[in-house]
Structure 1
């Protein structure tokens, strides 16, 4: 960015660093350093590999064959485990030296409470179980607060760069509600109704996950359909979010005011809005991700105006999340 406060910035990787810093602080009470960045990238790559391997278009027994992908995945899983195990061992040493204040406890401590309390009674198998569960829980919060949130933010910025009228309206609301107060609170952020509508519309058009897969555990009658046990069902969220019979003839248009009366009204009374899944399996990080998104956009709108750079190419593609294939170069101007 130039001295006069304007310039072209590819915001994609900056947003990944932002969301990575937030989730790292929440999970580990530490900074988003090179080691944590590498761990998170490994977790993302492992998930993409797992998702690809779970697709139904494979011949029987393919999952048991050795491959370069499986070898790479095994090496990455080993490095992630070593990193987390080292972190756990350091925390145990710190606790033995003196119990830290409760205010310093983070989410990772909650995952490891059983290990802290019974460290002298645990067998090696029990210790491994606790560490495995802690890593699994960490992966869950990684998706709630890292990849999906940076995905939401990059498409929000791109969409508002295209729709300058909505960007101006959102900025006006932020100044009216929050003024120039840099201390953001959950109460203040919850009053940003227009910004909330914008985030919901971005999640409708660019949901972080394109489809959900579920294996039917027992024979199920779903309306007029009988679904046998063991069938893999795939729900194409992107298509569901764009169906005219649910969202109206303008389903392909960016129109945040469709959410002015809530999600159910916007979806014509149907359970058709699923950026965070639905029902008992809904993402537990939903509120965390939305609050993080509001906080970032509120600060951004008070600091910069932005529009598409001439080099921007609109080409969404599906990795594990929906990503801008050629990055997100935007022309930023400081207010």
Structure 2
């Protein structure tokens, strides 16, 4: 009798588990897609478990076979890096749905719908859950990935550190770090043949940005901070390999090689950050850096109890600031230098402006504000090459935008890359490099200014955009004033999306001292 009872209980448990996975993998996403189809939102047919992942991989493989080494500067890269988006957009229009595993994604390039979505202030509409789950080793429950009261508290804690008045006090530090890098470049140029050196600028700028953000977050402990940064970059490389597996439940728990590497790196980073934070807590210090701000804010949210949550608040936001704080500025500066090398007439115009404003002196905040031509170049760079091609949101309850009801659990991906090169918004030269379009500011650059969103849009606009813009202006103004540069003959213009947009093999420029 007992054996029969145990067998029956086991059968019930197994049946319940099977039914749960059937609901999770099949029934739930199919119900979501059916609700969209009834509203005229269609998309490719998904397969069991993988959704449209197999289709995505096939289309990417076909694109790789078609591609050859490219030297010509073409900015229409979306079809190369995301061929499935182009194909499905042609088939289904500006609004379509597809699946990655059991995660249903609503792809949006409709400008009016995108505007409504970006301006939504509902607390039940925020960053997707997969950022906290599948990107947890990098973002955790930080300001980039959290929602609700926690996000509000994080924003209140961190935002003052990136106001323009605060960033103004960082200018001298940014200049000092940049000069150190440029001195090393000068030595390479002086030792190069005919006074020219081939410099891998993307790696150099990443290291520079790491130096700057390390000093901003950790103050006097910036050397240790730079060691943390190297491990965060390693985590980024690991997570980039798992992009196609985002919507497959449970993958992040499997002891695969990439998961084990991410776990190891995350453990080491957490240990180092906690050691620094604990050292601050037990020792009186006058440090006023971001680490201290996070320590002070870690126990300031109602309902938070326990050491674990307070330490996660500090650790997760330190990692997030590294990721967001250095990727935008270093990647955008890399693309800006590449564009200035390809379009020497703009390099000449920027150099003339900098010489006129600075007069041979190091830049300060007043000088940076006057650099209109350089600002135009940066804005156009961010239009053509935004750090990420998508702005992501998730509906945590049924939401209505325009005439559509978006079901709970749907991930909404607004295609920044496509909207930034939409000819109906930007004119017939939308795919060309033309900083002149920003001569009268963003509001006059296109028909729909709200569709310019390299730093996001709406309530969750990037807090660090002032920091990033000031850093880019300082770095670029110093480089352009000291060097004349062209693209290395070995450079091939191929773009890839590895959590951020970047050149496949980096960017090498031939530098010559002016």
Deviation at 1:6, TM superposition (A): 2.0
Asked if 2 retains the 8 angstrom alpha-carbon contact of 1:144 and 1:289, the reply is no
Aligned partners of 1:56 and 1:286: how far apart in 2? 31
CA distance in 2, matches of 1:280, 1:56: 29
Distance apart, 1:221 and its partner CA: 2.1
- Match for 2:231 among 19, 42, 56? 42
Match of 1:214 among 378, 393, 414: 393
C-alpha contact 1:219 1:228 (8 A) present in aligned 2: yes
CA positional deviation for 1:241: 0.8
**In the alignment, is the contact (CA less than 8 A) between 2:327 and 2:500 conserved in 1?**
yes
Extract unaligned runs of 5+ from structure 1.
118-122
Deviation at 1:31, TM superposition (A): 6.4
Q: Tell me the residue number matched to 1:19.
A: 209
1:106 equivalenced with 2:289 (yes/no): yes
SS of the equivalent of 1:139 reads helix
Larger radius of gyration: 2
Q: In structure 1, how many angstroms separate the alpha carbons of the residues matched to 2:271 and 2:231?
A: 13
Summarize the alignment of residues 198-213 of structure 1 with structure 2, pairs less than 5 Å apart. 198-213=377-392
| Unaligned residue ranges in structure 2 (runs of 5+) | 1-187
The CA distance in 1 between the partners of 2:220 and 2:189, in whole Å, is 32
Task: Report the number of matched residues.
Answer: 321
Quote how far apart the aligned CAs of 1:129 are. 2.1
1:167 equivalent in alignment to 2:343: no
Tell me which residue corresponds to 2:265: 76
Q: Take 2:267 and 2:430, find their aligned partners in 1: how far apart are those partners?
A: 45
Please report the TM-score for the alignment, with normalisation by the length of structure 1. Answer: 0.88
Instruction: Work out whether residues 189 and 513 of structure 2, in 8 Å CA contact, stay in contact via their aligned partners in 1.
Output: no
Contact 1:213 1:232 in 2 (8 A): yes
Structure 1 window deviating more from structure 2 (35-44 vs 311-320): it is 35-44
Q: Deviations over 1:125-172 (max 9, x none)?
A: 633322211122212321332122110111010000000000000011
Q: Distance in 2 between matches of 1:59 and 1:129?
A: 27
TM-score (norm 2): 0.59
**Is residue 181 of structure 1 aligned with residue 336 of structure 2?**
no
Task: Summarize deviations over 1:7-40 as a string: whole Å, max 9, x none.
Answer: 111111111111111101111113654x534422
1:132 counterpart (293, 309, 312) = 312
Change beyond 3 A, Cα 1:312–1:50: closer
Q: Which of 78, 84, 89 is matched with 2:278 structurally? A: 89
Match of 2:453 among 254, 258, 274: 274
Distance 2:443 2:273 in 1: 41
Residue range with higher mean Cα deviation, 229-238 or 193-202: 229-238
- 1:230 positional shift: 1.3
Partners of 1:155 and 1:202 within 8 A in 2: yes
Q: Kindly indicate whether the alpha-carbon contact (under 8 Å) linking 2:395 and 2:406 is maintained by their aligned counterparts in 1.
A: yes
Per-residue Cα deviation, 1:169-220 (whole angstroms, up to 9, x for no partner): 00111111111112x3222101111111100000011111111221112222
